[in-house]
Amino acid sequence: MSTVKLLWQYKWVALITLVFEWLILAPVLLMMLRFGNKEVVVNLAQTPIGSSNFFGIFIDAFSTSPGLVYAVIAFAITVPTLILFKFALAVGTMASMHEGKWSFSQWLSLSGKHFLRAIGLLLRWLIVPAILCGLAVLVFKLFDIESAVSKIITLAVCWFLSISWLFMSLNGVARNESWSLKNGAITLFKNLHQFLLIVLVFLALFVLAKLMNWQLFVNNSDINTTLLCGVFGAFAIALFMRIVVLYWQAAHVVVWRKHWKIN
Amino acid sequence: MKNLQCIVLVFGFILSVSTMASALRIAGPHSERVHQTTIKASLDVESHRVTAEMNLKWKNTTNDTLHEIPFHLYLNAFSSTDTVFMRESGGGQLRGDKREGDDKENFGYVIVTKLSNAQGKDLLANWQMDNSVATLSLSEPLESGQTIEFNMSFTSQLPKVFARSGHNGDTFNFVAQWFPKPSVYINGKWVNHRYHAHSEFFADFGSYDVTLTVPTDYVVGATGFLADKQQEGDLTRHHYVAEDVHDFVWTADKNFAEANQQWQGINIRLLYQEPLDEKSIQNQFDAAIASFEWFEKYVGAYPYSTMTLVQPPEDASGAGGMEYPTLVTTITDLDYSSFQHSAALVTIHEIGHNYWQGILASNEFEESWMDEGINSYTEGRILAEAMKRKNVAQFAHLSIELPMVHHASTARTPTFDPVNTNSWSFINSRAYGTNSYSKPATILNTVERVWGVEKVDLLLTAYYQQWAFKHPNTKNFLDVAKTIDVEMAQFLDDAINTTKTIDFTVVSLQSEKKHQGGGYRLLLEQQSEVTPEYTKPSKSDLYSNTVTLAYQGELTPPSIEVLLTFEDGSEETHIWQLDANKQWKTLRFESEVKLVEAIVDPRFTLLLDKDLSNNIKKERSESNQAWRWVVSLLQSMHHLINAFLPL
């Protein structure tokens, strides 16, 4: 089965995950909205968002009201919860994909069923980025590499290689198999060309999402844009981003199944 | 006034035709030339030590008879951990650069080894040194108008640089505040403060004739004009002449690369660290030329024929971003950037100092704002007007103008001290920084926006014309302001000499349908048995609006605008004439369309306002604009998590 076909079969996962995510992030959103509406009241004609006058108002509001700080603290507390929840849903999604059919209750059950083993894998996997990124830093030192661009690109490749390894290994957890980390590595390194393709497509789609998000910001700064456009635009972009993430997960399932010749 | 300035400039050019090889672009003397200083110095590049002989002719231009001459020995501030500078700076640090350790190469000093008068009589017994200051007791009183001559030998050991002067432990040497410098006698007293952590310098104008001997493979830059250069074996003598300046500084590094550009009789010389691309080099020249163009248009002529820009190496960044007459240091990161202009801004800032510190030469110990503050204001204008870079930083859709940066810094610093405070007397470093740089810039930005840029231009021009080369103080500046606008001068006086502040706010805004009177209609001649006529209360088509405005603080302009915005987008501007006896006002009026928003000072003229965020109030149902940026911001953070951990 192709990645796109699998992706389409699990399209509701993207939407429902988005709803869960927004529910988890809702306190942060509400606090920021309260801070914004109460402290950073702007007139788009005099203080367009992003303008120097907006910057002045924002800095003054930030300094005179703790609202934004509370929102940031709420975000810092929420993010680990969000990540753990999404991790459970990710392994549930992959397990469901291996079973080949999707239902809401089955998806949540699989998420709960594999969650603890997935956490175990995560803890074992943590050494992988540490080693790969550490080796990259060693190379910078040995070859006296100064270029910041080279450093960033190398570290990014190492990180995505590590992440891809994790997702390959998650297939093993989702299928109740042993030696998932080892088998994940075998699958990844014997399909490196696939890894590159997945990363390239993922990054391209991510950049597209960022551009869309940026365009939303620009439009929202315009006095003529209605708030309704802003809200629907934000929803559409967030949904698109969820589909991009689902593509990443589906691609790893497809590569795994092809490698291990699972029909 | 501008015409007169042009005539002076043209006349100066004519006079200086013969001075194509001269320290002055416009023939002098411009100052009293209190001293003539001749120095012959040699640099030992291994030990970073300068040995020198100095001949000083010092004229008593005051009306008093003097019995002593205090000197500054600034380099002694780095002699031990017990100096005032080291103690005040927490063991030795400035602008983020710290003393690297306790090895002796991190310390420096200047000591006078020989001292005699013109007749050769030894005067060392009269020389009382107290770390960064010294006093020479005169054996005979020095009458007004008399000149005295000394010969000195001295040794200057450069410290490893973290605060302006020093070396980088390798080839770079920045030789600043390196020789015994006479103090200034002004307003009936000597100004001989020690080298404080939060102060710069103050000295008399004079002439310098300095011969520097350094290894031939070293590139040298110095204050003034290179009159002669002679190689003798492995060493080369560089002979520099400077006139009408109050300091002499020099640098030597064999890693310097050099570029030059001429602009209207000024040789701009860039000493930089390689590699540096052509665009970055040209950016430096553009910044320098833009500065000169702006100053000549709005302030006055640059009288010198040279300007040397020095880029210290990365491991000597402590020497960067500092001004000296006709020589300034820039920053280590000189790369041109299209989205932030710090490389150009530092150069503009330091060249600006050649006016406010170099030519006006106020007392930086006691009134640092007169140099740093006015300069922080003019640098913003040069960047915006002469370099056409309105924003100091531009990240895609986010733009930040320099006046708003200064506002943010001013508003966030508690007002415990007036701007006009001795530099070492502020409550803390932050207060020194804000009151010396951002707050004076914000005061001038406010004056520009409230009273108009033309009046500020008149003020700067008149200030230069009246006080160039004369060490003006705050009162002199305010006196000039009074001749332009008394109200403006009073505002400046309050803002500079007091801790008065200001914060405008819209306290409340209500807009609702107007009530039509209703109920029982009771008449005087009402008969008891007749029921009074009843009409039902109703609402008319008109809106009844109430807006309450207020301010806290005393630093008020004569009036301020209030912009009222209605539901259909129409706007009305109301002028609030401010009354010191009543710090609030309620606007009551009717309108056909609902009032949805009120802004005090919609053009952001009063940048001294402590909190701009309370200047706007929306009618409750309209206050949901935060969606516009909150969702984007939160989504951006969320996207980053998804990208790096695609779960």
Model pLDDT for residues B361-394, shown as the tens digit of each residue:
999 999 999 999 999 999 999 999 999 999 999 8
CATH classification of the domain holding B406: 1.10.390.10
B68 and B137 in a single domain? The answer is: yes
Reported as a single tens digit per residue, the pLDDT across A171-183 is 999 999 999 999 9
Which strands, in side-by-side order, build the sheet including B256-263? B256-263, B266-273, B306-310, B327-329, B322-324
Q: Chain B contacts of A167, Cβ < 8 Å?
A: 646
**CB-CB under 8 Å, A59 with B408:** yes
Q: Is the dihedral of CA A180, A183, A188, A189 positive or negative?
A: positive
Token duo for residue B321: 């971003």
B187 and B48 in a single domain? The answer is: yes
pLDDT (0 to 100) of residue B324: 97
- How many structural domains is chain B composed of? 3
B286 vs B20, residue with greater confidence:
B286
Asked if B522 reaches chain A (Cβ–Cβ under 8 Å), the answer is no
Percent of chain B exceeding pLDDT 90 equals 85
In a domain, B56, yes or no: yes
CB burial of B517-530 (b: ≥16 within 10 Å; e: otherwise) equals: eeeeeeeeeeeeee
B593 and B481 in a single domain? The answer is: no
Token duo for residue B454: 């033309």
- Whether the per-residue pLDDT at B612 is higher than 60: the answer is yes
**CB-CB under 8 Å, B627 with A245:** no
B410 and B558 in a single domain? The answer is: no
- Whether the per-residue pLDDT at B83 is higher than 70: the answer is yes
Report residue A167: phi and psi, to 5°: -70, -35
Q: Where are the alpha helices (DSSP H) in B62-132?
A: 84-88
pLDDT (0 to 100) of residue B428: 94
Under 8 Å CB-to-CB from A182, ≥6 apart: which residues? none
Strand B206-215 relative to strand B250-253: parallel, antiparallel, unpaired?
unpaired
Q: Which helix (H) or strand (E) holds A91?
A: helix A67-99
**CB-CB under 8 Å, B411 with A63:** yes
pLDDT (0 to 100) of residue B75: 97
Which region, left, alpha or beta, applies to residue B80 given φ > 0 means left and ψ of -120 to 50 means alpha?
Answer: beta
Smallest Cα–Cα separation from B58: which of B33, B40, B28? B33
- How many structural domains is chain A composed of? 1
Q: What is the DSSP string of B112-160?
A: EEEEEETT--B-GGGEEEETTEEEEEEEEEE-TT-EEEEEEEEEEEPPB
| Stretch B557-584: mean pLDDT | 95
B399, B616, B646 ranked by CB distance to A51: nearest: B399
B436 and B550 in a single domain? The answer is: no
pLDDT (0 to 100) of residue B510: 94
Of B500, B520, B554, the residue at which a domain comes to its end is B500
B458 and B507 in a single domain? The answer is: no
Which residues, listed in sequence order, are joined to residue B129 by a DSSP beta bridge?
A: B134
Report yes or no: A95 and A249 within 8 Å, Cβ to Cβ.
Answer: no
Smallest Cα–Cα separation from B576: which of B544, B598, B609, B543? B598
B552 and B620 in a single domain? The answer is: yes
Nearest-angstrom CA–CA distance, B441 and B434: 9
Reported as a single tens digit per residue, the pLDDT across A109-128 is 999 999 999 999 999 999 99
B440 and B571 in a single domain? The answer is: no
CB burial of B464-498 (b: ≥16 within 10 Å; e: otherwise) equals: beebbbbbbbbebbbbbbeebbeebbebbbbbbee
In a domain, B230, yes or no: no
pLDDT (0 to 100) of residue B527: 66
CATH classification of the domain holding B151: 2.60.40
Nearest-angstrom CA–CA distance, B440 and B406: 9
CA-nearest residue to A241 within chain B is B639
Q: Confirm or deny that B193 is annotated as ligand binding.
A: no
- Whether the per-residue pLDDT at A144 is higher than 90: the answer is no
pLDDT (0 to 100) of residue B14: 46
Nearest-angstrom CA–CA distance, B181 and B239: 20
Give A26 to chain B, closest Cα distance, Å. Answer: 11
Asked if B621 reaches chain A (Cβ–Cβ under 8 Å), the answer is no
Give B335 to chain A, closest Cα distance, Å. Answer: 14
Reported as a single tens digit per residue, the pLDDT across B116-159 is 999 999 999 999 999 999 999 999 999 999 999 999 999 999 99
Report residue B41: phi and psi, to 5°: -125, 145
Nearest-angstrom CA–CA distance, B22 and B16: 8
Q: Which residues of B are catalytic?
A: 350, 437
Q: Which helix (H) or strand (E) holds A86?
A: helix A67-99
Which residue segment(s) compose the domain that A93 sits in? 3-259
- Whether the per-residue pLDDT at B3 is higher than 70: the answer is no
Nearest-angstrom CA–CA distance, B469 and B472: 8
Confidence band, pLDDT 50/70/90 cuts, at residue B528: low
Q: Is the dihedral of CA B59, B64, B68, B71 positive or negative?
A: negative
B487 and B593 in a single domain? The answer is: no
pLDDT (0 to 100) of residue B242: 97
Q: Is the dihedral of CA A168, A173, A176, A177 positive or negative?
A: positive
Confidence band, pLDDT 50/70/90 cuts, at residue B534: confident
In a domain, B383, yes or no: yes
CA distances B329 to B223, B248, B326, B354, Å, are: 12, 14, 10, 12
CA distances A224 to A118, A216, A227, B618, Å, are: 48, 13, 9, 18
CATH classification of the domain holding B569: 2.60.40.10
Which residue segment(s) compose the domain that B158 sits in? 31-215
CA-nearest residue to B617 within chain A is A41
Q: Which of residues 177-206 of B touch A (CB under 8 A)?
A: none
| Stretch B175-185: mean pLDDT | 97
Q: Chain A contacts of B391, Cβ < 8 Å?
A: 52
CB burial of B570-594 (b: ≥16 within 10 Å; e: otherwise) equals: eeeebebebeeeeeebebeeebeeb
- Whether the per-residue pLDDT at B1 is higher than 50: the answer is no
Burial of A24 (0-12, 13-18, 19+ CB in 10 A): middle
pLDDT (0 to 100) of residue B13: 47
Smallest Cα–Cα separation from A125: which of A190, A187, A191, A182? A182
The 3-class SS string of A197-259 reads HHHHHHHHHHHHHHHHHHHHHHHHHCCCCCHHHHHHHHHHHHHHHHHHHHHHHHHHHHHHHHH
| Stretch B403-426: mean pLDDT | 96
Nearest-angstrom CA–CA distance, B284 and B351: 11
Q: Chain B contacts of A146, Cβ < 8 Å?
A: none
Smallest Cα–Cα separation from B397: which of B581, B195, B582, B632? B632
Instruction: Please name the residue that has the structure tokens 């007036």.
Output: B418
B527 vs B367, residue with greater confidence:
B367
Token duo for residue B459: 């003020």
pLDDT (0 to 100) of residue A201: 94
Confidence band, pLDDT 50/70/90 cuts, at residue A147: confident
Confidence band, pLDDT 50/70/90 cuts, at residue B624: confident
pLDDT (0 to 100) of residue B294: 98
Confidence band, pLDDT 50/70/90 cuts, at residue B329: very high
- Whether the per-residue pLDDT at B58 is higher than 90: the answer is yes
How far is C-alpha B306 from the geometric centre of its chain's CA atoms? 22
Under 8 Å CB-to-CB from B543, ≥6 apart: which residues? B511, B512, B513, B514, B590, B591, B592, B593, B594, B595
Smallest Cα–Cα separation from A32: which of A73, A60, A3? A73
Reported as a single tens digit per residue, the pLDDT across A56-77 is 999 999 999 999 999 999 999 9
B492 and B598 in a single domain? The answer is: no
CA-nearest residue to A46 within chain B is B602
B593 and B482 in a single domain? The answer is: no
Q: Confirm or deny that B353 is annotated as ligand binding.
A: yes
Token duo for residue B74: 């600034």
In a domain, B52, yes or no: yes
Mean pLDDT, chain A, rounded, equals 93
In a domain, B222, yes or no: no
pLDDT (0 to 100) of residue B17: 42
Instruction: Say which range, B69-78, B423-432, B524-533, has the weakest mean pLDDT.
Output: B524-533
Helix (H, G, I), strand (E, B) or coil at B578: coil
**CB-CB under 8 Å, B638 with A25:** yes
Helix (H, G, I), strand (E, B) or coil at B544: strand
Q: Confirm or deny that B407 is annotated as ligand binding.
A: no
Q: Chain A contacts of B644, Cβ < 8 Å?
A: 159, 163
Confidence band, pLDDT 50/70/90 cuts, at residue B4: very low
CA distances B564 to A41, A47, B412, B561, B626, Å, are: 14, 15, 28, 10, 20
Q: What torsion, rounded to 10 degrees, do the Cα atoms B536, B539, B541, B547 define?
A: 150
B586 and B487 in a single domain? The answer is: no
- Whether the per-residue pLDDT at A220 is higher than 70: the answer is yes
ipTM over 0.90: yes
Residue A178: count other Cβ atoms within 10 Å of its Cβ.
7
Q: Where are the alpha helices (DSSP H) in A2-66?
A: 3-9, 11-39, 52-64
